[in-house]
Amino acid sequence: MRLIPVKQALSMMENAATAKSEYGKLTFLTAKKDRSLCLEHDEGTVILHEQGYRNESTAFTVDSEGIRECKHAVKQAFKREFPRSHKVYVSTVK
């Protein structure tokens, strides 16, 4: 795991929400590692897992409408889970 700025993490997560992502699973954790966001690619779907303030998983399809909804959900989840963080830990699986 490495520590990166939140703005870089948000753009990395938005790019991973697309169908042509190079990551199979992308996870972000706070410094205390008590909150996390995970974006996972499955066959034809992208699953967003939130753990911390909300403990829920949301699945999106890999069409243009689903990708747009996924990017919006990622931005909202980042604001909710990392409100005062400046840096987050990132873990990737290809």
Distance between CA 91 and CA 12 in Å, rounded? 12
Strands (E) located in the chain: 2-5, 25-29, 36-42, 45-51, 56-61, 87-93
Reduce the DSSP state of residue 13 to 3 states and report it. helix
Q: Does 27 have pLDDT greater than 90?
A: yes
Domain that holds residue 79: 2-93
Query: Using an 8 Å Cβ cutoff, are 90 and 12 in contact?
Result: yes
Q: What pairs with residue 26 in β-bridges?
A: 39, 92
The CATH number covering residue 68 comes to 3.30.1490
Provide the number of structural domains found in the chain.
1
Q: Write the pLDDT tens digit of every residue in 46-91.
A: 899 999 998 999 999 988 888 899 989 989 998 998 898 899 999 9
